[in-house]
A = this chain, B = another copy of it.
Amino acid sequence: MAQSNPPFMSGVPELLLLRLLNDREMYGYELVRSIREVTSEAISLGEGVIYPVLHSLERNGSLKSRRKPVGGRTRVYYSVTRKGRERLEKLQNDWQRIQTGITSALESPGNA
């Protein structure tokens, strides 16, 4: 037994990936750099994080992929499915909630 819920603040990599891919299709290596850029270096997720998440998102039908040869190399481009868009919306709401929660917790003291 003892089935564990995911840690309360996980799912952020997933959120970022879905958010970026919702604009346009991208490939893994590109996403790694892109996340660094759009977060102004605040968040840096390595390939060891990105690839597994992409694979699991594809497995559960949130993403679909197509292989595209580019100059000898092959890129795997991912794009968001309808299910992925639903997932994105949920994650965005979750994030909004906890973000707001923490912000209000950090605000000044018992000054009701």
Chain A residues packing against B (C-beta within 8 Å): 8-10, 12, 15-16, 19-20, 23-24, 35, 38-45, 92, 95, 97-106, 109-110
Interface centre among A12, A39, A97, A105 (most CB of B within 10 A): A105
In the bound complex, CA of A35 to CA of B12 (Å): 21
In the bound complex, CA of A94 to CA of B20 (Å): 23
3 nearest interchain CB pairs? A42-B101, A39-B101, A23-B109
Closest residue on chain B to residue A8 by CB atoms: B43
With A9-B9, A99-B99 as contacts: A106 and B19 at CB distance below 8 Å: yes
Interface class of chain A by DSSP: helix
Partner of A106, one of B44, B92, B104: B92
Which residues of the partner chain B approach A16 to less than 8 Å between Cβ atoms? 102, 105
Within the complex, the shortest CB–CB distance from A50 to chain B, in Å, comes to: 13
- Inter-chain contact A40/B100, CB cutoff 8 Å: yes
In the complex, given contacts A16-B102, A39-B101, A42-B102, what are 11 additional A-B residue pairs having Cβ atoms less than 8 angstroms apart? A8-B45, A15-B106, A23-B110, A24-B110, A38-B104, A39-B102, A40-B100, A43-B98, A92-B106, A95-B106, A99-B103
